[in-house]
Amino acid sequence: MTPPPAESVAAMIRPAPKPPDSKVNRDLLRVMDGAGPGYWLLLLIAAGSVGAAGAVWFYQVYKGLGIAGYAHPVFWGAYIVTFVFWVGIAHAGTLISAILFLFRAKWRNAINRSAEAMTVMAVLTAAQFLGIHVGRMWKSYFILPYPNQRGLWVNFKSPLLWDTVAISTYATISILFLFVGLIPDLAIARDRFSGWRKLLYTLLAGGWQGTSRQWKAHNRTVLHLSGLATPLVLSVHSVVSWDFAISIVPGWHATIFAPYFVAGAIFSGFAMVLTVMIPVRRIFGLEEYITDYHFENMSRFILLTSIIVGYAYLAEYYVAWYSGVEAEQSAFWLRAFGPYWISTWVMIIFNGVLPQLLWISKLRTNVPFLFVLSVLINIGMWFERYVIIIGGLSREYDPAVWGVYTPNAAELTIVAGSFGLFAMLFLIFIKLFPVIAISEIKELVIHEKTHGADH
Amino acid sequence: MAQLDRRDFLKLVGVGAGGAATGCYRASELPEQLIPYVVQPEEVTPGLAIFYASTCTECSAGCGLHVRVREGRPVKLEGNPDHPINQGALCARGQAGIGRSYSPDRIQKPQQRQSDGSYQPLSWEDATQLLAAKVRAAGSKTRVFGGRVGPTLSGLIDQWIAAVGAGARLVYEPFGYEALAAASREVFGVDGEPTFDLRDTDYVIDFGGDFLDAGRSPVEHQRQLKAAREVLSEGGKRARLVYVGPRQSTTTSNADTWIAARPGTEGLVALGIAKVVFDARQSAGRATGGDAALIASVLGRFDAATVAKASGVSAEQIQRIGSEFAAAERAVALPPGPALSSRRAVAANGAVLLLNAVVGAVGRNVSVSRRPESEHPTATLLEVVSLIEAAKKGDVSVLLVHDSNPLYSLPGPVHFAEALEKVDFVVSFASIWDETSKQADLILPDHTPLESWGDAAPRAGVRSLIQPSLRPLYDTQALGDTLLETARALGASGLPDGSFRGVVEAEWSGGNWRKALARGGEWNALAPSGASVAQSVANLRFEAPELQGSGDFVLLANPSPLLFDGRGANLPWLQETPDPVTKVAWQSWAEISSAAAEKMGIHEGDVVSVQTTIGAVELPVFPRGGLRDDVVAIAVGQGHTVGSFASADGSARGVSVISILPALTDESGGRAWLTAAASVTPTGAHRRLPNAQRDDNKRGRQLGEAITLAAFAEGKWNADAFVAAGAADGAGPGGGHEDGKFHEMLKPFEAKNDSTAESEYRWGMTIDLDSCSGCSACVVACAIENNIPNVGEEGMLRNRGMQWLRIERFVGDGDQELIVGRKPTYNHEKLEDTDVRHSPMLCQQCGAAPCEPVCPVLATYHNEEGLNGMIYNRCIGTRYCSNNCPYKVRRYNWFDYAIERLPEPSRLMLNPDVTVRSQGVMEKCTFCIQRVQGARQLAKDEFRPIADGEVTPACAQSCPSQAISFGNLKDDKSQVVKRADENRGRAYHALHMLNTRPGITYLAKLIRGEEKHG
């Protein structure tokens, strides 16, 4: 084994040099400085809704799931809807970080950090719902396959088990991905901040010195993680879709579900990136880094996935009609014209029709329009899951036990709390960690300097 | 002395073993700890049930009971298989009766009401002295008012009245049959209620008696009728049922023909039919039940055309039914029930009796016999009114009320409440708080029937014994003992010594007491006694009744099949069980016809005000097609203000239709119910009804199937549909696939292969929809056997009912209803249409169960005997199993129902064989696996397999019409397999196209339609 190069050893024992001070560093680290009253207010609102949801959840555990609006035969409600919604949101991050990384799409660099962070936060938010949704959360560890003295095992046939595995794998990879990508930036932050933050960044940066050897290892890790994460982008939401597709519920039982859900997830994920990044860009003046070019690219993705999702909507109706299965036919009929018709039309218009406006190139860079559209898409995607899950369950095979479900205040508080949790985590994140990957931006700057802009 | 009695009782009966072991007497002294027996009572084996034969007292039918007792607690009431009335079955009301003993509203000790309304407990000795003093002072101003009780107790009360010199006693039943007895007096000159026997009948016309759900003896009649209607593939009996009445009730939906005559004209229709029969029989030279000239003169003016005009029934129909009835060999006509007892009820009953006489049913299916001397006749409303008048005048000083709740059940205009205030001293013997006992000055709580001795004489030749099976839970005392003690305190002579138990034993000393205790009574088959039409028949005035008041509607106060006259309202199982017709639970509703509702622009749940001359009630409306346009129907039974379950926290639950009924009587003075015209006006308010099934459209799905007799006879069924003859057992063609090729999904299967090859058993069920009447006895039986909690009105409003077994009710085949922009129609009934399918839906124990693979924790699994097991304590509550169950038979514990909905002492009646489920756990039917396991233990001890018929799930056991067969599908000789095989032409599986391979085979309902008899 060769000894480490002398200069790196020296670097370790020498006091750290004055941190390099570039415009990029200043611009991007400024985001992490201080916090105005507006920030604290937002954080308070977010934390408050988390607190309210926590109280409701506590009461629900104590009293029983009956405090939610469930009504036979709809045994999955707003909790599962929101769970699927957040898992969907979690998709854009890995897509941007991993797949676009592998495709060497450089424009991703400006948004990948925030997208990755969103992924982790969305997965963490989604994971809460597994505990919120089950009737005996204090026994929910029964679902984990580990040798135990109870002599119990789990059912590997159950999509819910696949779900548990898929989500936990995805969460692990996402966190690793985010963390590995953060290391060089953490080192920059370590060099700039003092006090407890310095300690935090020192610990997290793990002695990053920016040596070429470290860079080499770092780049290889990112590459490998991208390779690992890429199939997960497709698998996680496929598995989540199988939660439904494996069943025999009319409106759930469809082979189209996996691609349909993955497209929907990417669709909603990009919309959420827009929803979050547009205000962040505005507030922190990051127009130089997150440019119209990025928005346009994301718009194109949204347009593409909207077409896929819209196609899936039509295909579902076609298959229902073509199948000749009465239950299937009436389920879809009642989706559009039954008690959930508002949700259905919200879903079709917000997800299938409105995004088609992005064919107009001017709108693709019209930031206010994109912001409004992205919010509408998020709403539409929540309703998509609502329509599929609740619409399917409420009108099944036996008309004697058809029922109608409406989420009640308890569920809506917890759903709102999940948005609060997501917002709270994100707000904390942008103050603690660089929201744009500094090192990657620098890479781009250097790249541009040497080769000129490639766009 | 009283203590010694109890000690005797414990020793002799051998119940309340826990109490015996610890040697204490009063509830307040009950030990808190559960300890094992130090000296185990000889007859008690922990874990094994003991059965005591007794008699049900929920109505006057007198069904025999087997009380299942576990470790000193009765946990279930089952029908006594030896009993001639019910032969092992038991109706919903009978099943639920067990809850009286465990009611949270039990009156726990004797108490006296103070002037400030509070209650002061007192000892039984003091209470007896107090009552004796009051009775001594009142003398003949002491009156006894009560419901119908058994002959021994009734006799004792009469003796007591004579001994203490009290005034005349009144036995009052809200749904009495005074009109029938009076009609028998007029038509046959015989004073007594005729009894009706439907055995081997081939033609029944029910003139609004609702005999299958709310009649005199619903279990017996249901069993008899369904046996007479059983159609086997080798050609069996095909009794026809015609229903005459304005409303489609449970009974109506079992009929082949429904004639919606103008309410109150049922008697006229009977006369019209009688005339046709009379003419036919006379021209054939057959007997016509009496003096032909007399009958001819009575029937003379009731030719079909006249009757048609008065009743709104077409003359052709009367002719046709008449000639069919005349041609039948064992035809029976059944009299109107309370709902249709009008001010001409005696004439209407008389007309039906006359029809029976003419057709030759009297002495064959109808037995006319004199009321036994010992039996105290029920009082007419007139007699009750005279008691009330006396009370108002101050002529009643002490009123003793037992087994009755007159404050609730008497019509408002008689002002019973005012009378009660005038009475110095009201004594109630109620064992559960009710409206009347709340107004009493002294409450001397009686034992509940499960804690009592007694007997019943439901009809001639049947004496049934009531023996205690529960050591009294509280400081109560049998009514008989209280009377005996009081008489002793008064020094009255002429009453028997000892306790009431001794009196009962003495009454039964003629027979073999021990044998009677074991069998539940003594009975012998008596030949029906006949009678011929007497001259007095001419006294009857056959005419359509008048109604009081004006209004577009006739107010029909129909007995609730579950709550009956209101006595079942405090039993949560009866409140929770959806009404068999409307599927509404826990509430009152007003039925009006869909057309009338449309005219008023109102929909289900819109609150209407129903106004008579007496007053108005406001309640949600339930529009139906199965009701005449000129009728508003409200079921009797709700509207209580007292009771944990009967009332809504002390305010009225629903409304009591009795409160708007005038106090009118029939010709004999008996209470008339069909007396008022009513107006219905929308109030603009809305109140959603808690109904378990909203839509009766089955949308052509493979549920609640029906087949015409003709198609069944041909052996072909639904050639276009996928379910074909033989799909049940794997033989026969696949529907629409004559070449023998099946679509993958529609392949027939062998249900018996869905257990492991080594297993000797594959449990399965055959449910005959043609036998199922929809009565819901099985629903209550299942709930009590399996510790299924009730969820209350709040829960039912959110469809959270926990019942594992439900009766689905579909009207016709339905249609897909894919129509945009129209308010959905939920009710598809049509007037005079009886194509109603009742389909019990419970876990199908699928061979390829969709619920099993989706459970992540293996809480639900397939066991080696083909059952779909459920491990409650493994369930984490993901609820995916229920989502994936196409039959939607899984129920979920949204709250800790077992704790919240079982107030003390209700949990004492939990079945120890069945796990009590906690919050967050899914539950469902497992074919009463605890019973299977019980039988397995016995069989194992004897080194033999479980025999056919040894295991009967609670639902199959309680079914009065034996619609459910249960057994081993691997045993070709088992009842369950034979029944499906014999009826192969109408066997199907629910939602067969899903290929779930159910363990339940349904036999489609037979539509007998209008085809000619024979």
Chain B nearest-CA distance from A144, in A, is 9
pLDDT of residue A445: 67
pLDDT of residue A6: 55
pLDDT of residue B34: 63
Question: How far apart (Å, rounded) are the C-alpha atoms in residues B1009 and A153?
Answer: 56
Question: What is residue A96's DSSP assignment?
Answer: I
pLDDT of residue B722: 37
B655, B725: one domain: no
Is residue B902, in this structure, part of any structural domain at all? yes
Contact status, residue B953 vs residue B759, Cβ threshold 8 Å: no
Please give the mean pLDDT across all residues of chain B. Answer: 88
Q: Does domain A35-144+155-451 have CATH number 1.20.1630.10?
A: yes
Mean pLDDT for B559-577 is 93
Helix, strand and coil content of chain A, in percent to the nearest 5, comes to: 75, 0, 25
Among B644, B451, B560, CA closest to B10:
B451
pLDDT of residue B756: 87
Which ipTM was obtained for this model? 0.90
Show the tokens assigned to B987.
């066997």
Whether the bond between B905 and the residue before it is cis, its omega within 30 degrees of 0, is yes
For B152-184, the pLDDT digits (tens) are 999 999 999 999 999 999 999 999 888 999 999
pLDDT band at B610 (very low <50, low <70, confident <90, very high): very high
Q: Which of A141, A390, A401 to mutate to test the interface with B (most CBs of B within 10 A)?
A: A401
Question: How far apart (Å, rounded) are the C-alpha atoms in residues A310 and A377?
Answer: 12
Which of B697, B800, B821 lies at the smallest CB-CB distance from A399? B697
Per the structure, the count of domains in chain B is 3
Q: Strand B706-708 and strand B1005-1007: pairing?
A: parallel
Question: How far apart (Å, rounded) are the C-alpha atoms in residues B323 and B554?
Answer: 31
Chain B nearest-CA distance from A128, in A, is 14
Is the pLDDT confidence value at B381 over 80? yes
Instruction: Write out chain B residues lying below 8 Å of A253, CB-based.
Output: none
Mean pLDDT for B229-256 is 84
Show the tokens assigned to A359.
């064919």
CA-CA distances (angstroms) from residue B981 to A313, B232, B730? 46, 10, 11
The alpha carbon torsion through B427, B430, B435, B436 (nearest 10 deg) reads -30
Instruction: Write out chain B residues lying below 8 Å of A393, CB-based.
Output: 883
Mean pLDDT for B808-836 is 83
Please give the mean pLDDT across all residues of chain A. Answer: 86
More confident residue, B140 or A194: B140
For A360-402, the pLDDT digits (tens) are 988 998 999 999 999 999 999 999 999 999 999 998 999 999 9
B233, B193: one domain: yes
Question: How far apart (Å, rounded) are the C-alpha atoms in residues B707 and B723?
Answer: 12
Sign of CA dihedral A282, A283, A288, A289: negative
pLDDT of residue B37: 77
Question: How far apart (Å, rounded) are the C-alpha atoms in residues B37 and B20?
Answer: 10
Question: What is residue B697's DSSP assignment?
Answer: -
Is residue B102, in this structure, part of any structural domain at all? no
Chain B nearest-CA distance from A136, in A, is 5
Question: How far apart (Å, rounded) are the C-alpha atoms in residues B205 and B257?
Answer: 9
Q: Count interface pairs A-B at CB distance under 8 A.
A: 173
Which of A73, A248, A337 lies at the smallest CB-CB distance from B850? A248
pLDDT of residue B36: 73
For A402-436, the pLDDT digits (tens) are 988 999 999 999 999 999 999 999 999 988 888 88
Instruction: Write out chain B residues lying below 8 Å of A159, CB-based.
Output: 854, 880
Is the pLDDT confidence value at B206 over 90? yes
B919, B888: one domain: yes
SS3 for B543-581 is CCCCCECCCCEEEEEEEECCCECCCCCCCHHHHHCCCCC
B783, B873: one domain: yes
B794, B677: one domain: no
pLDDT of residue B717: 60
Is residue B376, in this structure, part of any structural domain at all? no
Question: How far apart (Å, rounded) are the C-alpha atoms in residues A202 and A187?
Answer: 7
Mean pLDDT for B825-844 is 91
Domain boundary residue, one of B367, B391, B408 = B367
Residue of chain B with shortest Cα separation from A139: B876
Exposure b/e, B471-506, CB count within 10 A at least 16 = b: bbbbbbbbbbbbbbbbbebbebeebeeebbbbbbbe
**What is the CATH number for B271?**
3.40.228.10
Classify burial at B294, counting beta carbons within 10 Å of its beta carbon; exposed 0-12, middle 13-18, buried 19 or more: middle
- Domain residue ranges in chain A: 35-144+155-451
Among B486, B481, B476, CA closest to B398:
B486
Domain boundary residue, one of B657, B686, B715 = B686
Is residue B203, in this structure, part of any structural domain at all? yes
CB contact, 8 Å: B841 with chain A? yes
Question: How far apart (Å, rounded) are the C-alpha atoms in residues B319 and B837?
Answer: 28
Is the pLDDT confidence value at A21 over 70? no
Chain B nearest-CA distance from A419, in A, is 23
Which three-class secondary structure state does DSSP give residue B452? coil
More confident residue, A33 or B684: B684
B711, B672: one domain: no
Among B710, B769, B581, CA closest to B1009:
B710
Is the pLDDT confidence value at B742 over 70? no
Is residue B502, in this structure, part of any structural domain at all? no
pLDDT of residue B136: 92
CB contact, 8 Å: B822 with chain A? no
Domain boundary residue, one of B686, B716, B743 = B686
pLDDT band at A330 (very low <50, low <70, confident <90, very high): confident
Q: What phi and psi values does residue A179 have, to the nearest 5 degrees?
A: -65, -45
CB contact, 8 Å: B945 with chain A? no
Q: What phi and psi values does residue A429 have, to the nearest 5 degrees?
A: -60, -45
pLDDT of residue A19: 52
Q: What percent of chain B has pLDDT over 70?
A: 92
pLDDT of residue B237: 66
Question: How far apart (Å, rounded) are the C-alpha atoms in residues A417 and A419?
Answer: 5
pLDDT of residue B904: 85
B961, B848: one domain: yes
Say how many CA atoms lie within 13 Å of B528 toward its Cβ.
18
SS3 for B73-85 is EEEEEEECCCCCC
Contact status, residue A249 vs residue A394, Cβ threshold 8 Å: no
The answer to whether A248 contacts B991, with C-beta atoms less than 8 Å apart, is no
Chain B nearest-CA distance from A423, in A, is 28
CB contact, 8 Å: B862 with chain A? no
B779, B859: one domain: yes
Contact status, residue A372 vs residue A358, Cβ threshold 8 Å: no
pLDDT band at A346 (very low <50, low <70, confident <90, very high): very high
Contact status, residue B170 vs residue B387, Cβ threshold 8 Å: yes
Contact status, residue B88 vs residue B81, Cβ threshold 8 Å: yes
Residues 6+ apart with CB under 8 A from A26: none
Contact status, residue B405 vs residue B433, Cβ threshold 8 Å: no
B600, B717: one domain: no
Which amino acid is present at B286? R
Instruction: Write out chain B residues lying below 8 Å of A406, CB-based.
Output: none
Q: What phi and psi values does residue B165 have, to the nearest 5 degrees?
A: 70, 35
Is the pLDDT confidence value at B432 over 50? yes
CA B305 to chain centre: 38
Is the pLDDT confidence value at A230 over 90? no
CA-CA distances (angstroms) from residue B694 to B250, B578, B796, B809? 17, 11, 12, 10
CB atoms within 10 A of CB B394: 11
- Give the containing element (helix H, strand E) for B891: strand B891-892
CA-CA distances (angstroms) from residue B586 to B58, B488, B566, B690, B977? 19, 45, 12, 7, 39
Among B387, B332, B404, CA closest to B363:
B332
Question: How far apart (Å, rounded) are the C-alpha atoms in residues B54 and B516?
Answer: 10
The answer to whether B856 contacts A71, with C-beta atoms less than 8 Å apart, is no
Q: Categorise residue A195: left if φ over 0, alpha if ψ from -120 to 50, beta otherwise.
A: left
The alpha carbon torsion through B505, B508, B513, B515 (nearest 10 deg) reads -140
Chain B nearest-CA distance from A326, in A, is 8
Mean pLDDT for B303-312 is 92
Segments forming the whole domain that contains residue B652: 546-686
Question: How far apart (Å, rounded) are the C-alpha atoms in residues B843 and B1000?
Answer: 9
Show the tokens assigned to A268.
């909603």
Question: How far apart (Å, rounded) are the C-alpha atoms in residues B850 and B228?
Answer: 39
Which three-class secondary structure state does DSSP give residue B486? helix
pLDDT of residue B429: 95
Q: Which of B878, B889, B1002 to mutate to test the interface with A (most CBs of A within 10 A)?
A: B878
For B284-299, the pLDDT digits (tens) are 888 888 888 999 999 9
Say how many CA atoms lie within 13 Å of B938 toward its Cβ.
12
B735, B682: one domain: no
Which of A75, A154, A325 lies at the smallest CB-CB distance from B858? A154
Q: Record the pTM.
A: 0.91
pLDDT band at B3 (very low <50, low <70, confident <90, very high): very low
Q: Specify the residue for token string 């995916």.
A: B880
- Give the containing element (helix H, strand E) for B169: strand B169-171
DSSP notation for A19-57: PP--HHHHHHHHTTS---HHHHHHHHHHHHHHHHHHHHH
Contact status, residue B210 vs residue B250, Cβ threshold 8 Å: yes
Question: How far apart (Å, rounded) are the C-alpha atoms in residues B101 and B451?
Answer: 8
Q: Specify the residue for token string 């009475």.
A: B423
Which of A152, A161, A330 lies at the smallest CB-CB distance from B699? A330
Is the pLDDT confidence value at B661 over 50? yes
Question: What is residue B804's DSSP assignment?
Answer: S
Strands (E), A278-416: none
pLDDT band at B925 (very low <50, low <70, confident <90, very high): very high
Mean pLDDT for B318-344 is 92
**What is the CATH number for B551?**
2.40.40.20
Is residue B641, in this structure, part of any structural domain at all? yes
Which of B814, B857, B888 lies at the smallest CB-CB distance from A142? B857
CB contact, 8 Å: B800 with chain A? yes
Chain A nearest-CA distance from B835, in A, is 16
Mean pLDDT for B535-548 is 90
Helix, strand and coil content of chain B, in percent to the nearest 5, comes to: 30, 20, 50
Question: How far apart (Å, rounded) are the C-alpha atoms in residues B295 and B274?
Answer: 10
Among B31, B80, B369, B348, CA closest to B206:
B348
CA A165 to chain centre: 17
Show the tokens assigned to B748.
């027939």
B864, B997: one domain: yes
Contact status, residue B528 vs residue B364, Cβ threshold 8 Å: yes
Mean pLDDT for B544-555 is 91
B303, B222: one domain: yes
pLDDT of residue B719: 40
